Amino acid sequence: MSDEDDTVGPLPSEMLPEGDADNEDIVGPLPCEAEESEESEFKPPPAKKKKRGAIHGLSASCDGELACTVGDDKTAKVFDVLNFDMISMMKLDFIPSGCCFIYTPKDEISTLAISDQSSPKIRIYDARSKNDLLHTMDRLHESPVECIVFNPIFGCVVSADSDGMLEYWAGPSENYGIPRTVEWSFKSDTDLYCLLGNKTHAINMTVSSNGQTLAVLGADRKVRLFRFSTGKLIRIYDESLEQYSKLQQAKQILPSMEFGRRLAQEKELDRSEFRHSCNLGFFLAYATLLGIKVVNVVTNCVVRSLGGPENLRFLQLAFIPPRSMFASNVAPGVGSGTSLCTPSLEMLAMATEDHHTSSTSTSAAVQAQQPVLVCTAFKKNRIYLFTNREPHDIKADGDSVTPGSAAERDIFNEKPTKEEVLAATRDSATAASRLAGSAILHTTLGDIHIRLFPRECPRTVENFVGHSRAGYYNGHIFHRVIKGFMIQTGCPLGTGTGGKSIWGGEFEDEFHPSLRHDRPYTVSMANAGPNTNGSQFFITVAPTPWLDNKHTVFGRVVKGMEVVQKISNIKTHAKNDKPLEDVNIISVTIKDLGAGI
């Protein structure tokens, strides 16, 4: 963790998701309401009957009591969040594109705004009744409305249409006009025309928990921050593909093949119906090509980067702060008896001072109550959780957790389909034929017996086993030896500059929390940076924890440690660490899983 972590407070700090849970289909809109059990273990809510058709919008009320979904089945379903119960279903005569609760706890009516997919109309309903239409706004926009967001601090609604227009308006208490709480009377005094001027439109919006900042994610992949009260533009974050392409050319941030794959996925995402989301406070969180960025909007610095190593394109984000913050950190200006039960990242900054000045027992209690960042991913039917915990609880002996235990990352709460069962059966049969459980390196100084980890890092083991069975390593020398550190081999040129995978190029890293460089005789892949594995590997002769999450561990030496030590102690050239006398791999023997070592 960096020095700025003291400023960030208890934000999720782990780069990889702690867990993920099944859903019946690809996950679309993501609510800002979620629960964390007393045991700090994620538990999916009770299963509900699958909604007919796609869900176009989902909204949670600011008091945390209600949630609503709208979809292409022309219905709006209102749920009691605490009881996981549907309390109302409205039948609509149009296909809705989105919805948003536009009331505060002090309002008498639980008003709900629903936009029309094919017209610029916004209809206002009483969420607790059936089809009680209160008002229709048909002159506010001239094109279909893309998204709606409510600011409970100002009692103001912001809607955005497909032409790029942003409109402020109030609820029924001010007859749906411009709210008196904003500091402008004419739209020309604001920067709300900037999307229209740049020929783009909003695809998602969010408001900070103190109501002072509006974040707008445009179709041009730029995040614009506005001062809510004045409508003035205060900052722009450029996340366009052109910007990343320039960065890739100037400084290679990803291997060329991986960057090309992600670029193609971004273009496919642009053509799809899936949308991004962001979460705003003193810290703005949004998903990008390189993972999830958390930006301090005060210092204008990236303070967290989450999910970068994952082969996923994250989309929707929602934040669950530690439970203690619900009671002690109410957003300022909400009013008497009012709290936001859908807090943004800003609430964490508000808790920072108390976090550092509290007693030891209080700090321990707060630390135990984990913050959670909940995410969806492109074309994935799972929900991913980022916390301060690692994906697995690691046992003291370094073994992986028992599959199916609470510490396992993947939560399979949905029954797999027949197609998934058949695919899994075929994959397991294929994997069993490819992989093995152990290997013996026959060297000119003796045999080295290695236990492999095909379940934890299947592609890495498959690559090693494939090369070994093909005789690729036969005759290779240990070209780099550093006494007290490691011995390295697997380069066909004997210089450390050659070698490729069994697929003809480089392949991705496979980091596993139970496999660390925490002991000597660890077998790990050599590389030239992230996701550049080829054929070279090394064996450590001492604990090397600084290599964790940089090199893929795929084996442990279980016999022949004295041979490893003998190789590590031979004399080498001072400049390149190459042994003065060659030590060769004669051959490699592979043994199947369960065959013993």
Task: Supply the residues annotated as catalytic.
Answer: 480, 485, 488, 527, 538, 547, 551
Could you count the other beta carbons within 10 Å of the beta carbon of residue 416?
12
Query: What CA–CA distance (Å, rounded) separates 411 from 1?
Result: 28
What is the sign of the dihedral through the CA atoms of 531, 20, 73 and 128? negative
Sequential DSSP letters for 502-540: TTSS-B-----TT--S-SSSEEEE--SSTT-B-S-EEEE
Q: In what order do the strands lie in the sheet with 480-482?
A: 480-482, 486-489, 537-540, 522-525, 553-559, 446-452, 438-443, 585-591
3-state SS, residue 249:
helix
3-state SS, residue 167:
strand
Contact 312, 377 (CB under 8 A): yes
Phi-psi region of 29 (alpha: psi -120 to 50; beta: other; left: phi over 0): beta
Residues in the chain, total? 597
Those residues with Cβ within 8 angstroms of residue 527's Cβ, 6 or more apart along the chain or in another chain: 509, 533, 534, 536, 550, 551
Contact 597, 559 (CB under 8 A): yes
Sequential DSSP letters for 173-188: GGTTS--TTSS-SSGG
Query: What CA–CA distance (Å, rounded) separates 152 from 544?
Result: 52
Query: What CA–CA distance (Å, rounded) separates 260 from 244?
Result: 11
Query: What CA–CA distance (Å, rounded) separates 476 from 585?
Result: 5
Contact 230, 236 (CB under 8 A): no
Give the pair of three-digit tokens for residue 151. 């600011």
Could you count the other beta carbons within 10 Å of the beta carbon of residue 114?
27
